[in-house]
Amino acid sequence: MNIIWHEKTKQFHLFNDEISYIIAVNPVGELGNLYYGKRINDKEDMSYVVNRFGLAQVAVDADTETYSMELNRQEYPSFGTTDFGTSAFEVEISNGSKVSSFVYKDHKIYKGKQPLEGLPATYADDSEAMTLEIYLEDVVAKTTLALSYTLFNRYPVVTRHAKFTNIGPSKVKLTKALSACLDLPDQNYQWMQFSGAWARERTPIVKNLGPGSVSIESKRGISSANQNPFVIVKRPNTDDFIGEAIGFSFVYSGNFLAQAEGDTFGRMRVLMGINPDRFTWILEKGQSFETPEVVIAYSDSGLNYLSQTYHSLYNNNLVRGKWKNTPRPILINNWEATFMDFDEEKILKIASKAKEAGIELFVLDDGWFGDRDDDFAGLGDWVENPKKLPQGIPGLARKIESLGMKFGFWIEPEMVNPDSNLYRKHPEWALSTPGRKASLGRHQMVLDYSRPEVVDYIYGMLHKIISNAPISYIKWDMNRSLTEVYSADIPAEQQGMVYHRYVMGVYSLYERLRNDFPDILFESCSSGGNRFDAGMLYYAPQAWCSDNTDAIDRIRIQYGTSYGYPVSSIGAHVSAVPNQQTGRTTSIETRANVAYFGTFGYELDLNHVSHEEFELVKSQVQFMKEYRQLFQFGTFYRLRSPFEADQAAWIVVSEDKEKAIFGFYCMRSNVTMLPGFLKLDGLSADKVYVLNDEEYFGDELMNLGVTLTKLSNNGLSTGQDFISYVEVLEAKK
Ligand code: DGJ
């Protein structure tokens, strides 16, 4: 890994064993991109890449009239001169002009990586990464810009963000401040986005790119289930196993924009950052604005490798604290078992039975506080309901602990019901626009987390409960989009800052609670997977993946999620059948076989399963205890896509390739097809693996494949839907 500055040619070359990123100061002093991709040798002068001929309509260098932005790849394109593509930012000055030209001034190269202020970001020590900060200035706007690039040593990854500072006497207005732009030299790419809705999160969708724009965005105040802030730009032939791909992952949990734009000269621009729609940021004299981070990863060997890069980077350089690389406790959550209809006795009965099965953590979901018997009331009043919990959270937590389990509970701290003491006292603390009716979602409003006093108040209430009880886990929910976004306490010109300040408020509360209670495992949640993003993983190392707990739907949801996020982050539970969302009945084996490839837990009352099923649950819990390190932190490969067929498969392989576990799922039986073969991946070619007492070479399993008739139950020929297999492979000593 190195970052070289070629003083004479004014070119930077960032490279590690896998990638090269070459940036140059262009003829007018702004930054251009010369190369991004597979590692190439370092050369002092790569300026032959720059186009200097007269095809362009307008040139920006008045002297020779041979340089135009629109014929050259930009690094962080500005608005208003000769780049007619989408700009990465807009700075509006007091005369109303947004034209800008940020010119190279200086730079700094250092080992390691600096944290971003108040924002989640990947981190690295001096041996893990190097950082380049390039300082630019617009003399008319009297604003400086620092572009940061961190190159990781062991990953084909560069992270980027930008920081604007007003160094003049008058205020300036940022009306757009994206985090990263990558201009690519051709348009032979496809765009892959992860779209969906509640209960159908992160479906991969592929589109061809060419001239014109393709984009996804969120305007909901959260990253959303509708579009995930992660996209892949790939070659048309790239699949999970072969081909070139570039990933863009936004370490942010609010409104975002991701866009690919092909111009008429064959250039492809990819942009990512905070959605400029509904964003303005006022910079008074001396003030700065720092954008969140984008993680750009490269693969020339397929999407599995790209995903593995994100998995490993996020496990090692994004997740922090006690739960970093720590296998997760097997939990039981009472939500689908009781909803809000419970009391302490009922909860203890569920917990006792779970303990008998070997489950380690009990999670009390929604309904324990305020007047919360249904979803019309109570949010905002974080005090226990004595009718349900006579000795409060501390009493219940201690009883659960005396059973030999850990205890955790659910909160939704960003919300308030109009029917709550908090709202009656502070209606102005809810986001709403003067003179307009507030839209409700699940009968609740969103608290104005852009106001520090609101965050302080909620912090005080939660801190009190958590510090009075043995709490090991918190599920932090968030169940509606932001609407009528307006903060009562700030001037009109600052209203465009509220969305981002809201997100910063959420991050600040997470950070305070994490600092106060570093051992607590946080799980983020937002009506299931509405805020499943890299930003959240910095605070909460796992996220409830979806409210859809149906095993068959979950195969697709978890498969789609795996493109950008590690198995260790995917909250997955075995729930009751018929499934509450789909009405589908699947076996308890299949439900567990899907949930193993996640954080694993149960979401049902085990008092209500048959004796045989309970015995199976016991063995599932044992099995997960034995293999959770491998499931959650092994190298994960997608093998067969449920979006392309009625079957799905994936595998996790240990680092030393001595052990592997694959999951194979038949979503619909097909009586006339031969069972066929499943090609595995990631094994050591020459090792001999034992599978169901038979021996196979690694290369045999990866090229010929596993003969499906060799699986227990004789492969697929039982004529039943929803059959699945999870099989362990061990290398022979
Ligand atoms: C939505 C979550 O996704 C569910 O798991 C559950 O916690 C409910 N909210 C509780 O209101």
pLDDT tens, position by position, 183-206: 999 999 999 999 999 999 999 999
The pLDDT value given to residue 687: 98
Catalytic residue among 477, 533, 550, 681: 477
The pLDDT value given to residue 63: 79
Is 689 touching ligand 1 by the criterion CB < 6 Å? no
Question: CA-CA distance, 555 to 239, in Å (whole number)?
Answer: 19
By percentage, how much of the chain surpasses pLDDT 90?
92
- Give pLDDT tens digits for 264-315: 999 999 999 999 999 999 999 999 999 999 999 999 999 999 999 999 999 9
Question: CA-CA distance, 440 to 424, in Å (whole number)?
Answer: 16
Looking from the CA of residue 410, the nearest atom of ligand 1 is 7
Is 366 touching ligand 1 by the criterion CB < 6 Å? yes
- Diameter of the chain measured on Cα atoms: 86
Q: How confident is the model at residue 714 (pLDDT cuts 50, 70, 90)?
A: very low
- Give pLDDT tens digits for 202-219: 999 999 999 999 999 999
Nearest CA to ligand 1 atom 9: 527
Q: DSSP class of residue 585? A: -
Nearest to 567 by CA among 543, 592, 533: 543
Q: Which of 366, 474, 480 maximizes ligand 1 atoms within 8 Å of its Cβ, making it the mutation to test the pocket?
A: 366
The pLDDT value given to residue 59: 84
Ligand 1 geometric centre to CA of 477 (Å): 7
Is 474 touching ligand 1 by the criterion CB < 6 Å? no
- Give pLDDT tens digits for 402-441: 999 999 999 999 999 999 999 999 999 999 999 999 999 9
DSSP annotation string for 70-85? GGS-BSSPPSSSS--S
Is 335 touching ligand 1 by the criterion CB < 6 Å? yes
Nearest to 629 by CA among 315, 285, 357: 315
> Residue 582 corresponds to which amino acid?
T
* Residue 589 host element (H or E): helix 588-595
Annotated active-site residue 477? The verdict is: yes
Q: Is 435 left (phi over 0), alpha (psi -120 to 50) or beta?
A: left
Is 547 touching ligand 1 by the criterion CB < 6 Å? yes
Annotated active-site residue 183? The verdict is: no
Looking from the CA of residue 339, the nearest atom of ligand 1 is 10
Q: How many CA atoms lie within 13 A of 566 on its CB side?
A: 29
Question: Tokens 């076989």 — which residue?
Answer: 593
Q: How confident is the model at residue 719 (pLDDT cuts 50, 70, 90)?
A: low
Question: CA-CA distance, 354 to 194, in Å (whole number)?
Answer: 35
Catalytic residue among 547, 550, 605, 681: 547
* Distance from the first to the final alpha carbon of the chain: 36
Does residue 709 surpass a pLDDT of 80?
Answer: no
Does residue 552 surpass a pLDDT of 90?
Answer: yes
Tokens of 652: 């996790």
Does residue 717 surpass a pLDDT of 50?
Answer: no
Share in percent of the chain as helix, strand, coil (round to 5)? 25, 30, 45
Phi, psi of 15 (to 5 degrees): -150, 150
- Give pLDDT tens digits for 115-173: 999 999 999 999 999 999 999 999 999 999 999 999 999 999 999 999 999 999 999 99
Q: DSSP class of residue 15? A: E
Tokens of 382: 């974080």
The pLDDT value given to residue 715: 45
Q: Which of 372, 442, 525 maximizes ligand 1 atoms within 8 Å of its Cβ, making it the mutation to test the pocket?
A: 525
User: 294, 258 in Cβ contact below 8 A?
Assistant: no
Q: What is the mean pLDDT of residues 522-543?
A: 98
Ligand 1 geometric centre to CA of 253 (Å): 18
Tokens of 133: 């900060």
The pLDDT value given to residue 662: 97
Does residue 593 surpass a pLDDT of 90?
Answer: yes
Is 525 touching ligand 1 by the criterion CB < 6 Å? yes
> Of the ranges 61-75, 275-289, 483-497, 652-666, which one carries the lowest mean pLDDT score?
61-75
The pLDDT value given to residue 712: 54
The pLDDT value given to residue 710: 65
The pLDDT value given to residue 55: 63
Ligand 1 geometric centre to CA of 547 (Å): 7
- Give pLDDT tens digits for 622-673: 999 999 999 999 999 999 999 998 899 999 999 999 999 999 998 887 766 6
Question: CA-CA distance, 130 to 42, in Å (whole number)?
Answer: 17
Q: Is 169 exposed, middle or buried (0-12, 13-18, 19+ CB in 10 A)?
A: exposed
